[in-house]
Structure 1
Amino acid sequence: MLKTNAFDASASDSLSVEKRDMIERRRRLLGPAYQLFYKDPLHLVRGDGVWVFDAEGRHYLDVYNNVPSVGHCHPHVLEALTRQASELNTHTRYLHDNVLDFAEKLIGTMPSALSQVMFTCTGSEANDLALRIAEDYTGGTGVIVTDYSYHGMTKSIAALSASMGPYVKLDRDARAIPAPVHDPINPETVGKRFAADVRAAITDMRRHGIKPAALLIDTFFTSDGGFFDPPGFLQEAVDVIREAGGLYIADEVQPGYGRSGEHMWGFQRHGLVPDLVTLGKPMGNGHPMAATVVKPHILERFGSESSYFNTFAGNTVSAAVGLAVLEVIERENLLPSIQRAGKVIVDGIVELATRHPAIGSVRGVGLYASVDFVTPEGQPDPETALRVVNDLRDEGILIGASGPHSNVLKIRPPLVFTEVHSRLLVEGLEKVLSRH
């Protein structure tokens, strides 16, 4: 996953001297672990809604970035941030209305059983905290994830992110299972297969003396390639982990905040109430915020015996920002718009597939869509996906790729995307596909 669409420094001769110097300075100061996108990396300087602008003044349609969930530099969010930053920025060990107002509004978007929230700064921290709580409550250490999952960068969570590659070893007590198989012809088999794989993982854990603690899944399986259908297919797998004494942790960093256009949270597509929910990137529209939401009885012992404090999480400025993001989603009534814009994307690309056989499966819900590129033999085609990603960049459209073979076009624009923007994407994709 980490090398998908990564810049290759050995092919930098065609870049300007200024850009090569900047890339070299970055390498020298930041070291080798950081990566850049695209064959010709972007030098971005400004954002506005669904658009970003580079140092030369060229604008790009952002079809990739779920972090500025309500659009780059949304004025309501900026106003909340600057107003609170000019008054007070401090931690949660003092009383303040902001964190309570934010917590109340956030919890109010979820099923009533999920009624307590603990704030963190990143989704990695949120998943790390959820794992600690799950292990404390269950007494287990076994965690089930999917084959190409990504849940974060802390030591414990990187070891549960199979997409990190073989250098980062999967946790000894974890088991990685196949992501759900997209099967529109036999949709009833999707959930049954996935539940069977969860059962097999639990059986293997017990054979090795490991007690199950949790099923940790990104509700839309975004890193695995994006799998959404049929609605409700996750229920049996969740029943299986609970029967084994484990908990269901819904990683909503990418599916959450209304991205489906149907509900506020991805797990609601499956009619589920998780035991813990982890949130991240979209919460602060670019401000570093995340959270773990939990059923109170699961948190009770951990919270009583192991006090929690995070210097920056839940601070007065972050809470003001988080509240403002929720207000934008509500006031601008974004969910119906998300559905309309997403339908234009999926319908448009399905039509393109009738004329461009390189397009295989097209899957989507709301403003998250996955487009498989395949060879004439039907095998994953990462070369075409990479070419399309870079050609779209040259056309002023920013997009990414995902999946274990890096052959899946990953479409997840800011939630303020409209049908007009969706048509621009489809037209751009048709243009680059028609060249070959």
Structure 2
Amino acid sequence: MTNDLIARRARLLGPNVPTFYEEPVQIVRGEGVWLWDAEGRRYLDCYNNVAHVGHCHPKVVEAISAQAAVLNTHTRYLHEGILDYAERLLGHFGHDLSQIIMVCTGSEANDVALRMAQAVTGKTGLIATDNTYHGNTTAVAHLSTRRPPIGGYPGHVRRVPAPDSLVPLGGSLAAQPQAFADGVARAIAELEEAGHGFAGLMLCPIFANEGTPGIAPGFLDPTVDVVRRAGGLILCDEVQPGFGRVGSHWWGHEFLGFAPDVVTLGKPMGNGHPVGAVVARPDVMAAFRGAFGYFNTFGGNPVSCAAAMATLRVIEEEGLVENARDVGGYALGLLRQLRHPLIADVRGFGLFFGIEFAQGAQPAGDFCGRVVEVAKARGILLGRVGRAQHILKMRPPMPFSRGNAEQLVETLDAILREMPA
């Protein structure tokens, strides 16, 4: 059956359509932190941040169904749903981040954020790290590093050296915050000299796709100072750390301790329903609205707003931010008890964990890949990240429990004991 599905995908969807795992899993059902395949096997989902409040949460399912049975239509009609949601969501933001644009995906949100920076500054130059991903539109794909764009990276984009834990910028983890800021400063100077000017820096506040290397509160303070002095905007991609995943705060930028100009949201926002958003200060929003005739047919439609509102209420009512803090700290303590010659570091924030595998300064990407595959065979779904795909990435749904954490670590411990360096 699996081979038949793979063949149909190739015939109908074309080549190079990604799937997880060497032998892809046909998932047919989900509930809470669990997924089931077509053969009835259950998996503990330790990777899927899309189902933020748990797969098929009944309150989200009910909200989507109820609204779809009444109305779903073009967003250029008046509807209270988007306003009710905006008021509730914006109540979780500070720094005068008080206005919102609803979209359908994180890619769209990041695309809008880039244009906001250009509208505010009147300049076009953009900066991101050289080991990141911000989406699939043409504009944000120019920032991402998975495949270089046709014709090469455009002149108005600079990709600065990303933080790294094996070979830290500046030669040490202590020096890395300033070294990263120095790289941003050089990129700004290059953009100004080339005539593009500097519009904004886009980053994930915990550098999730870079593997969260050496990140702690205050890490971005030197970079924020550089960006502010240059007159650019800080565009904060909260798709992965947002909505309480870091445990200590609702947003990654709060955890790091800085004030962004624009925040983008995506996958977890609707618990799997396609919805995203851009949150900005009123002056930034006014500049964007004045420069671009933007509307989105589906962004903020009644059903999407119902899904997002239900997800937000579940986070609040079930104390899932507090759960991320409690279970995250417990799980991190267990993970740090794991022993293997190739474990270079174990780190985490709330319900976001990484185990970095390396031999000295050489990343062990192949070993990490084998761990992921063996874990899948034993009923644990994991991912990996990092420049060499050598960091085990875990970001389970937010209802993840201490018992789930124990199962994860017990399985990893057994796997690592059986796998020689």
Which position in structure 1 is the counterpart of 2:241?
255
Equivalent pair of 1:215/1:238 in contact (CA under 8 Å): no
- TM-superposed CA distance for 1:163, in Å, is 3.2
Question: Which of the residues 15, 21, 24 maps onto 1:38?
Answer: 21
Aligned residue pairs, count: 415
Which position in structure 2 is the counterpart of 1:8?
none
Equivalent pair of 2:164/2:210 in contact (CA under 8 Å): no
Q: Following superposition of structure 1 onto structure 2, how do residues 203-222 of structure 1 map, counting pairs within 5 Å? A: 203-222=189-208
Q: What CA deviation, in whole Å up to 9, does each residue of 1:242-264 have, x standing for no partner? A: 21111000000111010000111
Question: Which of the residues 404, 408, 413 maps onto 1:425?
Answer: 408
CA distance 1:102–1:285, change in 2 (3 Å): same
Q: Following superposition of structure 1 onto structure 2, how do residues 36-435 of structure 1 map, counting pairs within 5 Å? A: 36-165=19-148, 169-182=152-165, 188-227=174-213, 229-352=215-338, 355-375=339-359, 377-435=360-418
Distance 1:62 1:228 in 2: 26
CA distance 1:228–1:316, change in 2 (3 Å): farther
- TM-superposed CA distance for 1:287, in Å, is 0.2
Give 2:350's aligned amino acid: G
Give 1:332's aligned amino acid: E
Which consecutive residues of structure 2, in runs of 5 or more, have no partner in the other structure?
none
Distance 1:27 1:42 in 2: 16
- Give me the identity figure in percent: 47
Equivalent pair of 1:187/1:229 in contact (CA under 8 Å): no
CA distance 1:411–1:276, change in 2 (3 Å): same
Distance 2:326 2:148 in 1: 37
Q: Which moved more, 1:321-330 or 1:231-240?
A: 231-240
CA distance 1:415–1:356, change in 2 (3 Å): same
- TM-superposed CA distance for 1:166, in Å, is 7.0
Distance 2:344 2:148 in 1: 25
Give 2:232's aligned amino acid: G
Equivalent pair of 2:173/2:214 in contact (CA under 8 Å): no
Which consecutive residues of structure 1, in runs of 5 or more, have no partner in the other structure?
1-17
Equivalent pair of 1:70/1:415 in contact (CA under 8 Å): yes
Distance 2:28 2:199 in 1: 44
- TM-superposed CA distance for 1:302, in Å, is 2.5
Distance 2:295 2:150 in 1: 32
Which position in structure 2 is the counterpart of 1:14?
none
* Moved beyond 6 Å, runs of 4+: none
Which position in structure 2 is the counterpart of 1:7?
none
- TM-superposed CA distance for 1:218, in Å, is 0.8
Instruction: Please report the TM-score for the alignment, with normalisation by the length of structure 1.
Output: 0.92
SS at match of 2:43: strand
SS at match of 2:362: coil
Aligned residues: CA RMSD: 1.6
Which position in structure 2 is the counterpart of 1:6?
none
